[in-house]
Amino acid sequence: MKDGIHFTQRWLKGLAIALLLGAPLASADLITFDDLDPSEGSVSEQGYAGFNWDSRWGLGESGMSGFGDAAHSGSQFLFNQGFESNLEITRDNPFDFMGAYFASTSNYNNMSFWITLVAYDGQGNKVGELVDAQINPDFENQPLWIAADFTNVSRLVVDAAGGIFAMDSLQFRDTAVSVNEAGGFVLLLIGLGGLWAARRRVH
């Protein structure tokens, strides 16, 4: 009987340790746009990196006038062609948006100075907002990291409130499984373990 109790205790301790070790946040992924081939269609048509991109996003490269220093990695980036505002990025599976690099065009009359980011979950609830983050504070037109740390995002809206901007090196990760879902699975494992331990004591 004591052996059975001791085994159950050891099993539960082992399970707790395994859960602690196996439950870190998902590692971050980086979208650089450098492997996008313009001959295969727009970023929207290609469904790049598993996301749904607003058709108003344009694919730019560092050889374009006013964007010589806009790329953070490689030479390609996205930009709001035609001064478009409120451009969207969506995905069927929720994600955590950690941030991205933004830069203004160097063409003086088309410069952008602030960026606003608003995130929504699958039910349309606002889950994050960053208003008027400076992206061109010194007129240097260099890529500037804008951290957001929005979680459980299904739709991200990017707005520059006038001006033309570039976006590159978008960082995200898959949203972690909710505590309730994970808790149900843990209870199932504990129950199965208890039944197995009880059977072991009987035999």
E strand map for the chain: 29-31, 52-53, 57-61, 76-80, 87-104, 114-120, 126-134, 144-159, 165-174
Q: Residue 3 — pLDDT band, cuts 50, 70, 90?
A: low
Tell how strand 29-31 and strand 114-120 pair up: unpaired
Chain segment 174-191, per-residue pLDDT in tens: 998 654 444 554 444 554
**What is the structure's pLDDT at 48?**
95
Q: Do 64 and 78 touch, CB atoms closer than 8 A? A: no
Chain segment 4-42, per-residue pLDDT in tens: 545 455 544 554 444 444 445 568 899 999 999 999 999
Q: How many residues does the chain have?
A: 203
Compute CA distances 68 → 65, 77, 104, 120, 135, whole Å.
Answer: 7, 11, 11, 33, 16
* pTM higher than 0.85: no
Mention every residue, 6+ apart, whose C-beta is less than 8 A from residue 172: 28, 29, 31, 95, 96, 97, 98
**What is the structure's pLDDT at 112?**
93
Does residue 193 have a pLDDT over 60? no
Q: Rounded to 10 degrees, what is the CA torsion of 51, 56, 57, 61? A: 150
